């Protein structure tokens, strides 16, 4: 078997390798994946595939941003389509239906603490699941908190360990009233029995998983709602502004940090770009900034991420189709980003005419244009040794 990952000793072979990879990824991915598995240089394959996918994302981003900002006109009436397809979330049934499931969480606390009466205090109670929603009933407090499944945008669960309790986290489409506060993120944490914390960790995780599984069976009938497991061991360290270091995790749809208050949930579908900036002069850490599609929300910035995590984060962002740029010209604070986004929204046509986000491209994927993508059709027949050992 020819290891084409070794054909990178000069510019000609690099271009040949790139074109061949593009062809194989489109027409014979089965052979390509087998080749990557057998190669002595699998990283060269994955980095080249990631660079090609980022180029494709750059073209898609440019087109979608131009449409969203009104620089170009859509092919169909978007507002009419939304009316015909209906709202994304509806609360047709504001009351809970049916009997609660047999599985319930009998001792959980709502986090962060809720304001009840004149004080903010920890509420401990029972969390029950019905056919169409959750109900949290705290002990000794004259209130109940109902959360409809149709209001849940993203749902997470995380096993407990010696440092944090088992938890469930619900990120909602719209805020609801919890005590005297409106909240879009609601979290429930399992409560350990006093003096038996070490013993209870192994007991509480299966209880929570059983509850998650039973709710998941109901959610099979609810479109776009399902649980995501957060695995902190695969996360990375970083710092939010004015907060101590935390562990952040990239799931299939969100970036989350659920342990420290206030919890952070960034829906990746709402992200326009991710900016990665190495911090000078040591270049041992980098900062990551998420810019949102509405251009009105403040950016989300995570500081001091170890540079050893850079390649893994690039790979994860690429897998979830987030376009990233590594360019020190985007080394801006929150106020700097606010000014830049205001400048873009004032004159979007000029921004798009100047190339949009493409001008901040720090990796060499700019050469992969639509015409070069089409050129793979001219790739000659692959040699026989591509198909055999």
| 3-state secondary structure string across the chain | CCCHHHCCCCHHHHHHHHHHHHHHHHHCHHHHHHHHHHCCCHHHHHHHHHHHHHHHHHHHHHHHHHHHCCCCCCCCCHHHHHHHHCCCCCCCCCCCCCCCCCCCEEEEEEECCEEECCEEECCEEEEEECCCEEEEEECCCCCCEEEEHHHEEEEEEECCCCCCCCEEEEEEEEEEEEECEEEEEEEEEECCCCCCHHHHHHHHHHHHHHHHHHHHHHHCCCCCCCEEECCHHHCEEEECCCCCCEEEEECCCEEEECCCCCCEEEEHHHEEEEEEEECCCCCCEEEEEEEECCCCCCCEEEEEEEHHHHHHHHHHHHHCCCCEEECHHHCCCHHHHHHHHHHHHHCHHHHHHCCHHHHHCCCCCCCCCHHHHHHHHHCCCCCHHHCCC
Mean pLDDT, all residues of the chain: 80
Total count of residues recorded for the chain: 389
385 part of a folded domain: no
Per-residue pLDDT at 2 exceeds 90? no
Structural domain including 109 reads 105-229
What does the pLDDT average to over 344-353? 92
More confident residue, 44 or 188: 188
Residue 388 banded pLDDT, cuts 50, 70, 90: very low
209 and 264 fall within a common domain: no
Provide, rounded to the nearest whole percent, the portion of the chain with pLDDT above 90. 34
123 part of a folded domain: yes
366 part of a folded domain: no
pLDDT of residue 308: 94
Least confident of 250-254, 293-297, 357-361, 365-369: 365-369
pLDDT of residue 378: 46
- What domain count does the chain have? 3
pLDDT of residue 283: 85
Is 325 in contact with 357 (CB distance < 8 Å)? Answer: yes
Distances (CA, A) of 279 to 237, 251, 255, 303, 316: 15, 25, 22, 9, 21
Residue 128 banded pLDDT, cuts 50, 70, 90: very high
202 and 260 fall within a common domain: no
196 and 151 fall within a common domain: yes
**Cis bond leading into 262, ω under 30°?**
yes
More confident residue, 66 or 93: 66
Per-residue pLDDT at 386 exceeds 80? no
Question: Radius of gyration of the chain from Cα atoms?
Answer: 25
257 and 327 fall within a common domain: yes
330 part of a folded domain: yes
Select from 185, 213, 229 the last residue of a domain. 229
Least confident of 54-63, 71-80, 334-343: 71-80
Query: Bridge-partner residues for 134, per DSSP?
Result: 129, 147
What does the pLDDT average to over 15-36? 77
Residue the block writes with tokens 């376009």: 323
Least confident of 9-13, 59-63, 72-76: 9-13
pLDDT in tens, 202-217: 678 899 999 999 898 8
81 part of a folded domain: no
Residue 90 banded pLDDT, cuts 50, 70, 90: very low
239 part of a folded domain: yes
pLDDT of residue 271: 95
- Which residues, 6+ apart, have CB-to-CB distance to 349 below 8 Å? 71
pLDDT of residue 118: 63
61 part of a folded domain: yes
254 and 356 fall within a common domain: yes
pLDDT of residue 189: 92
118 and 189 fall within a common domain: yes
pLDDT in tens, 253-267: 899 999 988 899 999
382 part of a folded domain: no
Residue 157 banded pLDDT, cuts 50, 70, 90: very high
**C-alpha span between 323 and 357 (Å, rounded):** 10
pLDDT of residue 381: 45
pLDDT of residue 171: 95
Quote the tokens at residue 185: 């993120």
More confident residue, 198 or 66: 66
Q: Around 184, how many Cα atoms within 13 Å sit in the side-chain half-sphere? A: 10
What does the pLDDT average to over 59-88? 68
What does the pLDDT average to over 53-81? 78
pTM, two decimal places: 0.77
Per-residue pLDDT at 247 exceeds 50? yes
Most confident of 83-97, 128-142, 281-295: 281-295
pLDDT of residue 154: 93
214 and 258 fall within a common domain: no
Please, what is the angle between helix 11-27 and helix 42-68, to 10°?
Answer: 70
Query: Bridge-partner residues for 155, per DSSP?
Result: 170, 227
238 and 217 fall within a common domain: no
Per-residue pLDDT at 346 exceeds 90? yes
Is 1 in contact with 385 (CB distance < 8 Å)? Answer: yes
Is 253 in contact with 319 (CB distance < 8 Å)? Answer: no
What does the pLDDT average to over 323-351? 90
């Amino acid at each position: 078997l020819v290891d084409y990952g070794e054909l990178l000793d000069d510019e000609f072979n690099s271009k040949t390798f790139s074109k061949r990879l593009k062809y194989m990824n489109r027409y014979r991915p089965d052979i390509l994946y087998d080749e990557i598995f057998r190669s002595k240089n699998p990283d060269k394959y994955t980095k080249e595939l990631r660079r090609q996918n980022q180029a494709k994302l750059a073209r898609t981003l440019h087109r979608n941003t131009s449409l969203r900002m009104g620089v170009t006109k859509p092919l169909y009436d978007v507002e009419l389509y939304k009316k015909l397809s209906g709202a994304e979330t509806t609360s047709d049934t504001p009351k809970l239906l049916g009997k609660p499931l047999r599985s319930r969480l009998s001792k959980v606390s709502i986090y962060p603490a809720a304001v009840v009466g004149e004080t903010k205090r920890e509420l401990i109670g029972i969390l029950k699941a019905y056919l169409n929603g959750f109900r949290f009933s705290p002990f000794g407090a004259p209130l109940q908190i109902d959360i409809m499944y149709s209001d849940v945008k993203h749902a997470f669960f995380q096993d407990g360990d010696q440092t944090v309790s088992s938890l469930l986290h619900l990120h909602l489409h719209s805020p609801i009233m919890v005590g005297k506060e409106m909240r879009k993120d609601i979290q429930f944490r399992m409560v350990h029995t006093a003096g038996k914390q070490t013993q209870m960790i192994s007991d509480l995780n299966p209880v929570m998983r059983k509850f998650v599984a039973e709710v998941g069976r109901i959610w099979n009938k609810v479109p776009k709602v399902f649980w995501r497991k957060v695995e902190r061991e695969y996360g990375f360290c970083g710092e939010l502004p004015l907060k101590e270091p935390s562990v952040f995790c990239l799931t299939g749809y969100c970036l989350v940090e659920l342990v420290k208050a206030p919890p952070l949930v960034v829906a990746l579908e709402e992200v326009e770009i991710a900016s990665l900036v190495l911090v000078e002069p040591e270049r041992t850490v980098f900062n990551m900034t998420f810019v949102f599609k509405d251009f009105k929300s403040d950016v989300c910035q995570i500081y001091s991420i170890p540079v050893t995590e850079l390649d893994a984060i690039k790979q994860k962002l690429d897998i979830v189709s987030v376009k990233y740029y590594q360019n020190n010209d985007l080394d801006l604070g929150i106020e700097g980003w606010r000014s830049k986004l205001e400048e873009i929204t004032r004159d979007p046509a000029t921004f798009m005419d100047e190339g949009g986000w493409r001008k901040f491209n720090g990796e060499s994927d700019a050469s992969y244009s639509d015409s070069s993508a089409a050129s793979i059709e001219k790739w000659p027949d692959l040699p026989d040794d591509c198909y055999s050992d």
